[in-house]
Homo-oligomer: A and B are copies of this chain.
Amino acid sequence: MERTLTCRCILLLSCMQLLKAHNDFFTSIGQMTDLLYTEKDLVTSLKDYIRAEESKLERVKWWADKLDSLSAVATQDPEGFLGHPVNAFKLMKRLNTEWADLESLVLSDTTDGFISNLTIQRQNFPSDDDQTGAAKALMRLQDTYQLDTDTISTGQLAGLSSVTPTHLTLTVDDCYDLGKVAYSEADYYHTELWMAQALKQLDQGETSSTVDAVAILDYLSYSVYQQGRLRRALDFTKQLLELDPTHQRANGNLKYFEYQLSKQTKVEGSEDEEQQKQRKESQGRHDDYLPERNKYEKLCRNEGIRMTPRRQSRLFCRYYDNGRHPRFVIGPVKQEDEWDRPHIVRYHDVVSEKEMEKVKELAKPRVSVRLFSPAHPKEI
Protein backbone atom coordinates (compact mmCIF):
# COMPACT_ATOMS: atom_id res chain seq x y z
CA MET A 1 0.00 0.00 0.00
CA GLU A 2 2.79 2.37 0.98
CA ARG A 3 4.48 1.83 -2.38
CA THR A 4 1.32 2.21 -4.37
CA LEU A 5 0.75 5.57 -2.73
CA THR A 6 4.28 6.74 -3.47
CA CYS A 7 3.74 5.73 -7.04
CA ARG A 8 0.47 7.57 -7.12
CA CYS A 9 2.07 10.65 -5.62
CA ILE A 10 4.64 10.76 -8.38
CA LEU A 11 1.98 10.23 -11.03
CA LEU A 12 -0.03 13.06 -9.57
CA LEU A 13 2.91 15.40 -9.44
CA SER A 14 3.94 14.56 -12.99
CA CYS A 15 0.41 15.13 -14.09
CA MET A 16 -0.04 18.41 -12.32
CA GLN A 17 3.36 19.81 -13.11
CA LEU A 18 2.70 19.33 -16.76
CA LEU A 19 -0.56 21.23 -16.90
CA LYS A 20 0.56 24.48 -18.42
CA ALA A 21 -2.02 27.03 -17.35
CA HIS A 22 -2.74 30.68 -17.90
CA ASN A 23 -1.43 32.42 -14.78
CA ASP A 24 -0.46 28.95 -13.55
CA PHE A 25 -4.05 28.60 -12.42
CA PHE A 26 -4.65 24.92 -12.87
CA THR A 27 -1.32 23.81 -11.50
CA SER A 28 -2.73 22.71 -8.16
CA ILE A 29 -5.09 19.85 -7.60
CA GLY A 30 -6.93 22.05 -5.08
CA GLN A 31 -7.99 24.44 -7.78
CA MET A 32 -9.08 21.62 -10.03
CA THR A 33 -11.18 20.32 -7.14
CA ASP A 34 -12.99 23.66 -7.10
CA LEU A 35 -13.81 23.14 -10.77
CA LEU A 36 -15.50 19.83 -9.93
CA TYR A 37 -17.85 21.66 -7.55
CA THR A 38 -18.44 24.42 -10.10
CA GLU A 39 -19.38 21.73 -12.59
CA LYS A 40 -21.78 20.17 -10.10
CA ASP A 41 -23.53 23.54 -9.63
CA LEU A 42 -23.80 23.95 -13.39
CA VAL A 43 -25.45 20.55 -13.69
CA THR A 44 -28.06 21.67 -11.13
CA SER A 45 -28.63 24.84 -13.14
CA LEU A 46 -28.88 22.77 -16.34
CA LYS A 47 -31.50 20.53 -14.75
CA ASP A 48 -33.55 23.62 -13.81
CA TYR A 49 -33.47 24.62 -17.47
CA ILE A 50 -34.56 21.13 -18.53
CA ARG A 51 -37.50 21.21 -16.12
CA ALA A 52 -38.59 24.67 -17.34
CA GLU A 53 -38.29 23.63 -20.97
CA GLU A 54 -40.21 20.40 -20.37
CA SER A 55 -43.09 22.24 -18.74
CA LYS A 56 -43.16 24.79 -21.57
CA LEU A 57 -43.14 21.99 -24.14
CA GLU A 58 -45.92 20.23 -22.24
CA ARG A 59 -48.13 23.32 -22.62
CA VAL A 60 -47.30 23.69 -26.32
CA LYS A 61 -48.10 20.02 -26.88
CA TRP A 62 -51.43 20.33 -25.07
CA TRP A 63 -52.36 23.18 -27.40
CA ALA A 64 -51.13 21.35 -30.50
CA ASP A 65 -53.12 18.22 -29.62
CA LYS A 66 -56.25 20.28 -28.98
CA LEU A 67 -55.91 22.16 -32.28
CA ASP A 68 -54.99 19.00 -34.14
CA SER A 69 -58.18 17.13 -33.29
CA LEU A 70 -60.25 20.29 -33.79
CA SER A 71 -58.74 20.90 -37.25
CA ALA A 72 -59.35 17.30 -38.25
CA VAL A 73 -63.07 17.63 -37.47
CA ALA A 74 -63.48 21.18 -38.82
CA THR A 75 -61.90 20.47 -42.21
CA GLN A 76 -64.15 17.45 -42.79
CA ASP A 77 -67.08 19.84 -43.35
CA PRO A 78 -65.76 23.42 -43.12
CA GLU A 79 -69.00 25.14 -44.09
CA GLY A 80 -71.06 23.08 -41.69
CA PHE A 81 -68.54 23.73 -38.95
CA LEU A 82 -68.44 27.48 -39.49
CA GLY A 83 -72.23 27.57 -39.78
CA HIS A 84 -72.31 27.33 -36.01
CA PRO A 85 -71.87 30.90 -34.71
CA VAL A 86 -70.00 29.75 -31.60
CA ASN A 87 -67.48 27.91 -33.81
CA ALA A 88 -67.09 31.02 -35.97
CA PHE A 89 -66.51 33.24 -32.94
CA LYS A 90 -63.98 30.81 -31.48
CA LEU A 91 -62.07 30.67 -34.79
CA MET A 92 -61.84 34.48 -34.84
CA LYS A 93 -60.66 34.55 -31.25
CA ARG A 94 -58.15 31.74 -31.78
CA LEU A 95 -56.57 33.38 -34.79
CA ASN A 96 -56.61 36.91 -33.44
CA THR A 97 -55.60 36.23 -29.82
CA GLU A 98 -54.68 32.67 -28.94
CA TRP A 99 -52.12 31.96 -31.66
CA ALA A 100 -50.32 35.13 -30.57
CA ASP A 101 -50.33 33.85 -26.98
CA LEU A 102 -48.91 30.55 -28.21
CA GLU A 103 -46.23 32.44 -30.13
CA SER A 104 -45.19 34.26 -26.95
CA LEU A 105 -45.04 30.93 -25.16
CA VAL A 106 -42.91 29.34 -27.90
CA LEU A 107 -40.58 32.35 -27.94
CA SER A 108 -40.33 32.57 -24.13
CA ASP A 109 -36.71 32.12 -23.05
CA THR A 110 -36.09 29.25 -20.64
CA THR A 111 -32.31 29.25 -21.16
CA ASP A 112 -31.62 32.53 -19.39
CA GLY A 113 -30.71 31.27 -15.89
CA PHE A 114 -28.49 28.45 -17.10
CA ILE A 115 -26.71 30.50 -19.76
CA SER A 116 -25.89 33.38 -17.42
CA ASN A 117 -24.61 30.93 -14.80
CA LEU A 118 -22.43 29.28 -17.41
CA THR A 119 -21.16 32.64 -18.68
CA ILE A 120 -20.14 33.71 -15.17
CA GLN A 121 -18.48 30.39 -14.32
CA ARG A 122 -16.68 30.15 -17.63
CA GLN A 123 -14.35 32.97 -16.59
CA ASN A 124 -12.69 30.39 -14.31
CA PHE A 125 -12.68 27.56 -16.83
CA PRO A 126 -9.48 26.07 -18.26
CA SER A 127 -8.38 27.36 -21.66
CA ASP A 128 -7.23 25.67 -24.86
CA ASP A 129 -3.69 25.82 -23.46
CA ASP A 130 -4.79 23.97 -20.33
CA GLN A 131 -6.46 21.28 -22.41
CA THR A 132 -3.38 20.93 -24.62
CA GLY A 133 -1.24 20.83 -21.48
CA ALA A 134 -3.35 18.04 -19.99
CA ALA A 135 -3.09 16.10 -23.26
CA LYS A 136 0.69 16.45 -23.31
CA ALA A 137 0.84 15.40 -19.64
CA LEU A 138 -0.99 12.21 -20.53
CA MET A 139 1.45 11.46 -23.33
CA ARG A 140 4.46 12.10 -21.10
CA LEU A 141 3.03 9.71 -18.51
CA GLN A 142 2.61 7.24 -21.32
CA ASP A 143 6.34 7.47 -22.17
CA THR A 144 7.55 7.54 -18.59
CA TYR A 145 5.62 4.46 -17.54
CA GLN A 146 5.84 2.87 -20.99
CA LEU A 147 2.07 2.45 -21.17
CA ASP A 148 0.29 1.47 -24.34
CA THR A 149 -2.62 3.59 -25.56
CA ASP A 150 -5.14 0.86 -24.78
CA THR A 151 -4.14 0.85 -21.11
CA ILE A 152 -4.54 4.61 -20.87
CA SER A 153 -7.74 4.68 -22.90
CA THR A 154 -9.45 2.12 -20.67
CA GLY A 155 -8.03 3.93 -17.62
CA GLN A 156 -6.47 0.70 -16.28
CA LEU A 157 -3.37 2.36 -14.82
CA ALA A 158 -1.57 0.00 -12.45
CA GLY A 159 -1.49 1.26 -8.87
CA LEU A 160 -4.24 3.78 -9.59
CA SER A 161 -7.28 1.71 -10.39
CA SER A 162 -7.32 0.33 -6.85
CA VAL A 163 -7.26 3.74 -5.12
CA THR A 164 -9.18 5.96 -7.55
CA PRO A 165 -12.90 5.52 -6.92
CA THR A 166 -13.96 6.03 -10.54
CA HIS A 167 -11.90 6.35 -13.64
CA LEU A 168 -13.19 7.45 -16.98
CA THR A 169 -12.30 5.96 -20.32
CA LEU A 170 -11.18 7.80 -23.42
CA THR A 171 -13.67 7.94 -26.29
CA VAL A 172 -12.81 7.89 -29.98
CA ASP A 173 -13.06 11.69 -29.88
CA ASP A 174 -10.66 11.92 -26.93
CA CYS A 175 -8.07 9.72 -28.65
CA TYR A 176 -8.46 11.73 -31.86
CA ASP A 177 -7.98 14.98 -29.88
CA LEU A 178 -4.82 13.59 -28.25
CA GLY A 179 -3.55 12.64 -31.70
CA LYS A 180 -4.26 16.14 -32.98
CA VAL A 181 -2.40 17.76 -30.07
CA ALA A 182 0.63 15.58 -30.87
CA TYR A 183 0.24 16.43 -34.57
CA SER A 184 0.21 20.17 -33.87
CA GLU A 185 3.51 19.69 -32.00
CA ALA A 186 4.91 17.78 -35.01
CA ASP A 187 5.12 14.76 -32.66
CA TYR A 188 4.25 12.13 -35.29
CA TYR A 189 5.15 9.24 -33.00
CA HIS A 190 2.27 10.02 -30.60
CA THR A 191 0.05 11.14 -33.47
CA GLU A 192 0.30 7.65 -34.92
CA LEU A 193 -0.28 5.92 -31.57
CA TRP A 194 -3.42 7.88 -30.71
CA MET A 195 -4.92 7.93 -34.18
CA ALA A 196 -4.42 4.16 -34.34
CA GLN A 197 -6.16 3.87 -30.95
CA ALA A 198 -9.06 6.00 -32.21
CA LEU A 199 -9.38 3.82 -35.31
CA LYS A 200 -9.24 0.65 -33.20
CA GLN A 201 -12.07 1.88 -30.96
CA LEU A 202 -14.14 2.80 -34.03
CA ASP A 203 -13.53 -0.69 -35.45
CA GLN A 204 -14.62 -2.18 -32.12
CA GLY A 205 -18.02 -0.62 -32.66
CA GLU A 206 -17.75 2.64 -30.73
CA THR A 207 -19.50 5.51 -32.49
CA SER A 208 -18.66 9.17 -32.76
CA SER A 209 -20.72 12.05 -34.07
CA THR A 210 -17.72 14.21 -34.92
CA VAL A 211 -14.91 11.88 -36.03
CA ASP A 212 -14.90 9.30 -38.83
CA ALA A 213 -12.40 6.74 -40.09
CA VAL A 214 -11.53 8.89 -43.12
CA ALA A 215 -10.28 11.79 -40.99
CA ILE A 216 -8.32 9.40 -38.75
CA LEU A 217 -6.70 7.57 -41.69
CA ASP A 218 -5.70 10.92 -43.18
CA TYR A 219 -3.71 11.78 -40.02
CA LEU A 220 -2.39 8.23 -39.74
CA SER A 221 -0.96 8.04 -43.25
CA TYR A 222 0.70 11.45 -42.90
CA SER A 223 2.21 10.67 -39.49
CA VAL A 224 3.71 7.34 -40.57
CA TYR A 225 4.99 8.97 -43.78
CA GLN A 226 6.70 11.60 -41.60
CA GLN A 227 8.34 8.76 -39.67
CA GLY A 228 9.68 7.40 -42.95
CA ARG A 229 7.46 4.31 -43.21
CA LEU A 230 6.37 4.80 -46.78
CA ARG A 231 4.83 1.36 -47.29
CA ARG A 232 2.61 1.79 -44.18
CA ALA A 233 1.60 5.29 -45.31
CA LEU A 234 0.59 3.82 -48.66
CA ASP A 235 -1.51 1.14 -46.89
CA PHE A 236 -3.40 3.72 -44.82
CA THR A 237 -3.99 5.86 -47.91
CA LYS A 238 -5.44 2.86 -49.74
CA GLN A 239 -7.72 2.10 -46.77
CA LEU A 240 -8.88 5.72 -46.81
CA LEU A 241 -9.64 5.61 -50.53
CA GLU A 242 -11.70 2.46 -50.06
CA LEU A 243 -13.97 4.46 -47.74
CA ASP A 244 -13.92 7.68 -49.78
CA PRO A 245 -12.68 7.11 -53.37
CA THR A 246 -12.98 10.82 -54.23
CA HIS A 247 -10.79 12.10 -51.34
CA GLN A 248 -8.60 14.63 -53.13
CA ARG A 249 -5.52 14.74 -50.91
CA ALA A 250 -5.49 10.95 -50.53
CA ASN A 251 -5.55 10.50 -54.31
CA GLY A 252 -2.65 12.91 -54.63
CA ASN A 253 -0.73 11.18 -51.83
CA LEU A 254 -1.34 7.75 -53.35
CA LYS A 255 0.55 8.70 -56.50
CA TYR A 256 3.30 10.45 -54.53
CA PHE A 257 3.84 7.52 -52.13
CA GLU A 258 3.93 5.02 -55.00
CA TYR A 259 6.51 7.13 -56.82
CA GLN A 260 8.66 7.55 -53.67
CA LEU A 261 8.40 3.84 -52.92
CA SER A 262 9.60 2.80 -56.38
CA LYS A 263 12.56 5.21 -55.98
CA GLN A 264 13.35 3.84 -52.48
CA THR A 265 13.28 0.22 -53.64
CA LYS A 266 16.05 1.05 -56.11
CA VAL A 267 18.16 2.74 -53.37
CA GLU A 268 17.63 -0.16 -50.92
CA GLY A 269 18.91 -2.55 -53.54
CA SER A 270 22.22 -0.68 -53.58
CA GLU A 271 22.80 0.21 -49.85
CA ASP A 272 24.36 -2.25 -47.37
CA GLU A 273 22.71 -3.83 -44.33
CA GLU A 274 24.40 -1.53 -41.76
CA GLN A 275 22.90 1.56 -43.39
CA GLN A 276 19.40 0.02 -43.44
CA LYS A 277 19.61 -0.91 -39.74
CA GLN A 278 20.74 2.60 -38.80
CA ARG A 279 17.93 4.18 -40.78
CA LYS A 280 15.33 1.98 -39.11
CA GLU A 281 16.58 2.73 -35.58
CA SER A 282 16.31 6.46 -36.13
CA GLN A 283 12.55 5.98 -36.46
CA GLY A 284 10.30 5.76 -33.42
CA ARG A 285 9.79 8.08 -30.53
CA HIS A 286 9.85 11.85 -30.88
CA ASP A 287 13.41 13.11 -31.13
CA ASP A 288 13.94 14.74 -27.72
CA TYR A 289 16.34 12.23 -26.18
CA LEU A 290 18.09 13.41 -22.99
CA PRO A 291 20.17 11.24 -20.60
CA GLU A 292 18.61 12.90 -17.48
CA ARG A 293 15.13 12.13 -18.69
CA ASN A 294 15.98 8.53 -19.36
CA LYS A 295 17.21 8.09 -15.78
CA TYR A 296 14.22 9.87 -14.32
CA GLU A 297 11.78 7.76 -16.32
CA LYS A 298 13.57 4.55 -15.29
CA LEU A 299 13.32 5.61 -11.66
CA CYS A 300 9.60 6.23 -12.04
CA ARG A 301 9.20 2.76 -13.49
CA ASN A 302 11.07 1.32 -10.51
CA GLU A 303 13.84 0.25 -12.85
CA GLY A 304 16.57 2.16 -10.93
CA ILE A 305 19.34 0.73 -8.72
CA ARG A 306 17.90 -2.16 -6.72
CA MET A 307 18.54 -2.64 -2.97
CA THR A 308 20.44 -5.87 -2.18
CA PRO A 309 19.06 -8.13 0.63
CA ARG A 310 22.27 -7.52 2.55
CA ARG A 311 21.91 -3.74 2.46
CA GLN A 312 18.16 -4.05 3.05
CA SER A 313 18.80 -5.91 6.34
CA ARG A 314 20.57 -2.83 7.69
CA LEU A 315 17.54 -0.54 7.32
CA PHE A 316 15.58 -0.07 10.58
CA CYS A 317 12.66 1.77 12.20
CA ARG A 318 13.03 3.75 15.44
CA TYR A 319 11.53 6.47 17.63
CA TYR A 320 13.34 9.75 17.16
CA ASP A 321 13.43 12.75 19.56
CA ASN A 322 15.83 15.01 17.60
CA GLY A 323 18.54 14.90 20.32
CA ARG A 324 16.07 15.17 23.23
CA HIS A 325 14.39 18.23 21.71
CA PRO A 326 11.78 19.39 24.29
CA ARG A 327 8.92 18.99 21.78
CA PHE A 328 9.74 15.31 21.10
CA VAL A 329 10.85 14.00 24.52
CA ILE A 330 7.36 12.87 25.55
CA GLY A 331 6.11 12.09 22.05
CA PRO A 332 8.99 11.06 19.79
CA VAL A 333 8.21 10.56 16.08
CA LYS A 334 8.42 7.32 14.10
CA GLN A 335 11.47 7.30 11.80
CA GLU A 336 12.02 4.68 9.07
CA ASP A 337 15.17 4.17 6.95
CA GLU A 338 14.29 4.30 3.27
CA TRP A 339 17.80 4.16 1.79
CA ASP A 340 21.40 3.85 3.01
CA ARG A 341 23.60 5.86 0.61
CA PRO A 342 22.55 8.65 0.58
CA HIS A 343 20.74 8.21 3.87
CA ILE A 344 16.99 8.80 3.28
CA VAL A 345 14.49 8.53 6.13
CA ARG A 346 10.71 8.74 6.27
CA TYR A 347 8.82 10.18 9.28
CA HIS A 348 5.40 8.81 10.14
CA ASP A 349 2.44 10.61 11.74
CA VAL A 350 4.20 13.95 12.12
CA VAL A 351 1.14 16.07 11.29
CA SER A 352 -2.50 15.12 11.81
CA GLU A 353 -5.10 14.82 9.01
CA LYS A 354 -6.67 18.04 10.28
CA GLU A 355 -3.35 19.90 10.15
CA MET A 356 -2.76 18.66 6.61
CA GLU A 357 -6.15 19.95 5.53
CA LYS A 358 -5.29 23.35 7.02
CA VAL A 359 -1.93 23.45 5.21
CA LYS A 360 -3.61 22.61 1.91
CA GLU A 361 -6.25 25.26 2.47
CA LEU A 362 -3.63 27.93 3.20
CA ALA A 363 -1.45 26.83 0.30
CA LYS A 364 -4.18 26.65 -2.34
CA PRO A 365 -4.20 30.32 -3.37
CA ARG A 366 -0.39 30.51 -3.35
CA VAL A 367 0.58 27.34 -5.21
CA SER A 368 2.70 27.90 -8.31
CA VAL A 369 4.42 24.80 -9.58
CA ARG A 370 7.36 25.34 -11.90
CA LEU A 371 6.84 23.87 -15.30
CA PHE A 372 8.62 20.82 -16.60
CA SER A 373 8.84 20.73 -20.33
CA PRO A 374 11.39 19.48 -22.86
CA ALA A 375 12.63 23.06 -23.22
CA HIS A 376 13.90 23.34 -19.61
CA PRO A 377 14.38 19.76 -18.44
CA LYS A 378 16.54 20.69 -15.46
CA GLU A 379 13.94 22.74 -13.70
CA ILE A 380 12.21 19.72 -12.14
Chain A positions within 8 Å of B, measured between CB atoms, are 8, 11-12, 15, 19, 26, 29, 32-33, 35-37, 39-40, 42-43, 46-47, 49-50, 53-54, 57, 60-61, 63-64, 67-68, 70-71, 73-97, 99, 102-103, 106-107, 111, 114-115, 118, 122, 125-128, 130-131, 133-135, 137-138, 141, 152-153, 155, 157, 160, 163-170, 174, 177
Tell me if A80 and B164 are in contact (CB < 8 A). yes
Q: How many copies does the complex hold?
A: 2
Tell me if A78 and B157 are in contact (CB < 8 A). no
Tell me if B96 and A127 are in contact (CB < 8 A). yes
Partner of A74, one of B54, B64, B74, B166: B166
Tell me if A64 and B46 are in contact (CB < 8 A). yes
Tell me if A90 and B130 are in contact (CB < 8 A). no
Tell me if A85 and B174 are in contact (CB < 8 A). no
Q: Which 8 A-B pairs have the closest CB atoms?
A: A33-B78, A92-B134, A40-B71, A84-B164, A89-B134, A96-B131, A73-B166, A15-B85
Q: CB-CB < 8 A to A32: which residues of B?
A: 82, 88, 91
Tell me if B95 and A126 are in contact (CB < 8 A). yes
Q: CB-CB < 8 A to A122: which residues of B?
A: 99
Measured in the bound complex, the distance between the Cα atoms of B137 and A80 in whole Å is: 18
Measured in the bound complex, the distance between the Cα atoms of B50 and A217 in whole Å is: 39
Residue of A35, A36, A73, A74 with most partner-chain B CB within 10 A: A36
Closest CB of chain B to A379's CB: distance in Å?
21
Task: Given contact pairs A15-B85, A80-B165, enumerate 10 new A-B contacts (beta carbons under 8 Å).
Answer: A33-B78, A37-B75, A40-B71, A43-B68, A46-B64, A83-B164, A84-B157, A86-B155, A106-B111, A107-B111
